[in-house]
Structure 1
């Protein structure tokens, strides 16, 4: 039984680390690779939204733990200043991917909201799972049951995360027409940017590993300023 638990933990950890490593290629080398035109990420996002006829999205710069995401309820795109003002391939990929969520309306909107709920569960669920384990141990449950329950929670959250990745890939697909038009003269850059976009789609898969950070910096009382609440 212990061997099965260890294998499951290692597999889950490996998947999360793989996704985090893929996204790190965007925030690392991608942020140093210049975009094919001089537009900042915010400017190219505005071009994309205008291309798609989207006029109700507000772009807000926000430097915090939870940034670089689209809020469908308020129709706001929150971007880190380094991303918003950047003119690198990485900045473009992050900003455009999040902006593409603004085009997921009607039937796709329900999928987007479910995906965002799953992301929140992945960010905060493991910590509450640990608290539950502590409660089980306090009530003198056998430790192996408590540990098994925690692993089961993490596995379910990871599977939910992987199962809703189609929403992220759908967002990237919605960029295709715009990028073909905007980068018509830069086919190599178009191909590289598409590679970065595929990595951005995996950004939240590793959130289970970052759960303690999200809890400490955005869930505890007094930490609300780190999130864009207005």
Structure 2
């Protein structure tokens, strides 16, 4: 059956290994710098609040949420949600992650176009990522032009996932850049402490690169299978 095709591993293995390496780096960097307390003992929540208030974003709430590194900014509800460790600890890692999420709020305020595109794509991506592969598989098992059309429909739906992963890259890179600049300019971290922030955020950026690579390679695999069928 096509989904046991050894060719799949040629497409899937490299991004899988990259993803595992990225996850290792993130956990390693976060665990290391979670143990390093900031000189001014500002927690992640306090750092986020300071950045938001000084940027005219007093309307954005900072909330604690559960889950390891579940930190995110919700542009719809204007809420910045930080995981327990990030919210509470006065560590270099916590402040770096909190500032990164605050960077997304700044993007939202300034109408950063890649963020707007990504937000607009969320509904299509939720459908494409779940239904795209299923429709593709069903189409592959149906003979004739109808099956071919169905399989290509699944590919097009999944393509939204790959495009979303690509659009995510500039959004995340820009948020990290804003975070690093703000942390120093507002005196939240020193130049020496910024090295730890760089280590954490650069490792996190690699996970988005791995996710994009995985989505693109899976899309290319689907297209290759269709070409072989034709």
* TM superposition score normalised by structure 1: 0.68
Match for residue 35 of structure 2?
32
Q: What SS does the corresponding residue of 2:59 show, helix, strand or coil? A: coil
Q: Counterparts in 2 of 1:164-203, with a 5 A limit? A: 164-183=168-187, 186-203=190-207
The DSSP-based 3-state class of the residue aligned with 1:193 is helix
The answer to whether residue 83 in structure 2 is matched with residue 89 in structure 1 is: no
1:111 and 2:114 correspond: yes
Q: CA deviation at 1:17?
A: 2.5
Secondary structure, counterpart of 2:45 in structure 1: helix
Which residue, 98, 102, 113 being the options, matches 1:99? Answer: 102
Q: Find the partner of 1:44 among 33, 44, 47.
A: 47
The verdict on how the C-alpha distance between 1:114 and 1:58 changes in structure 2, with shifts beyond 3 A counting, is same
Q: Secondary structure at the match of 2:81?
A: strand
Gaps of 5+ in 2: 213-230
Spell out the pairing of 1:1-230 with structure 2 (5 A cutoff).
Answer: 4-64=7-67, 67-104=70-107, 105-108=109-112, 110-116=113-119, 125-136=128-139, 139=142, 157-158=161-162, 160-183=164-187, 186-204=190-208
**Is contact 1:40–1:84 with CA below 8 Å preserved after alignment?**
yes
Q: Judging by fraction of residues, say which structure has more helix.
A: 2
Which protein shows a greater Rg? 2
Query: In 1, are the aligned partners of 2:37 and 2:90 still within 8 Å (CA)?
Result: yes
Q: 1:20–1:205: 8 Å Cα contact kept in structure 2?
A: no
In structure 2, the CA distance between the partners of 1:44 and 1:9, relative to structure 1 (3 Å rule), is same
**For the residues of structure 1 that align with 2:18 and 2:124, how far apart are their CA atoms?**
17
Structure 1 residues 75, 160: CA separation in 2 closer, same or farther (over 3 Å shift)? closer
Could you tell me how far 1:59 is from its partner in structure 2? 0.9
Inter-partner Cα distance in structure 1 for 2:204 and 2:156? 27
Deviation (angstroms), 1:80: 1.5
Tell me, yes or no, if the aligned pair for 1:5 and 1:148 is still in contact at 8 Å: no
RMSD: 4.0
1 or 2 for the larger relative contact order (CA 8 Å, sep ≥6)?
1
Query: SS of the residue aligned with 1:111?
Result: helix
Q: Give, in angstroms, the shift of residue 29 of structure 1.
A: 2.1
SS in 1 for 2:73: strand
TM-score by length of 2: 0.68
